Amino acid sequence: MTKVDRSGERKTRPLNLKESNLPFQVEEPKRSLENLIVSNDVLNQIKSLISKIDNYDLLYNKFGLREIDSSGGRTVINLYGLPGTGKSFAAEAIAKEMGKKIIKVNYAEIESKYVGETPKNIKLLFKEAKKEDAILIFDEADSILGRRLDSVTKSTDHAVNLTKSVMLLELDNFSGITIFTTNFGKNYDPAFLRRIIGNIKFSLPSLSARRAILEKLIPAKLPINLSTDDMNNILENTDGFSGGDLLNIVIYASSHAVERDGKKCEVNLSDFNEAIKLIKNAKKELALN
């Protein structure tokens, strides 16, 4: 449910992780809330969280909320929903709104087959986030937020629980902002839930939201020939599609038109229909596997 912003290059700087081979960078966020297309409810929840963070000193020190909320300066946010619904976009937009740099991590990339390495990687990332005053974003973090194992019978079971315990400890000791993005909003370990101040669900876009997304996604330079009826047809045929799906449709439709007519092409309804068909077939194959 997002617009993809490709204006200019992202400013990045490699992290100085001498103790690890982790390929992560400190980045300046480019996404913004004004380009995030979500429901009013989701947007209001995001703005409320930002307000709480902005007014932390007033709320927790002057107004005494510190006395009833032991989280201190810790801010842990979880954005959950189906892939392509705008979670990662929103995480970056929050950072931009806060004027913070980001360290963006796909959680699978810090998991190691070597016992003890994953907790070490987690510690290093939090250390760098503190040093850089950056927001730490863990994408695809379902596995880390899941429940700890009650029955530990193998060394790998112990390693899983140790990793989760280290993450909990680092969250407690980190006075900055941590954002998780996950696909499912259930089966979380209660200890993580207690630390999350904002648990926001991202849903598939409505017809009106799909219209807004497509209008933002279609570049002004793209030669396009679509009537109002054509656009309505596209919107009706993309029910259940995510913002990520719509992005792929624009790309596939444009490629199909260029393949047909080269530089003189105009992207039309038939191109979009081919792209929609391609996405639907891919979804069916995924559902069968």
Contact 167, 212 (CB under 8 A): no
Based on the fold, state whether residues 172 and 123 are members of the same structural domain.
yes
Domain for residue 122, yes or no? yes
- The answer for residues whose C-beta is within 8 angstroms of residue 52's C-beta and 6 or more apart is 59, 75, 197
Based on the fold, state whether residues 32 and 79 are members of the same structural domain.
yes
Tokens 């193998």 belong to 154
Based on the fold, state whether residues 185 and 227 are members of the same structural domain.
no
- Domain count of the chain? 2
Residues of the chain with pLDDT under 50: 1-8, 18
Say what the pLDDT of residue 29 is: 96
Q: What is the DSSP letter of 264?
A: G
| Radius of gyration from C-alpha coordinates of the chain | 21
Say what the pLDDT of residue 205 is: 96
Domain for residue 124, yes or no? yes
Q: What is the CATH number of the domain that holds 277?
A: 1.10.8.60
Say what the pLDDT of residue 39 is: 92
Say what the pLDDT of residue 281 is: 94
Tell me which residue range forms the domain holding 153: 12-202
Tokens 């990793």 belong to 163
pTM metric for this prediction: 0.85
- The answer for residues whose C-beta is within 8 angstroms of residue 25's C-beta and 6 or more apart is 12, 13, 14, 15, 103, 104
Based on the fold, state whether residues 197 and 233 are members of the same structural domain.
no
Based on the fold, state whether residues 88 and 121 are members of the same structural domain.
yes
Based on the fold, state whether residues 122 and 31 are members of the same structural domain.
yes
Structure tokens at 263: 């530089």
Among residues 202, 225, 250, which one ends one of the domains? 202
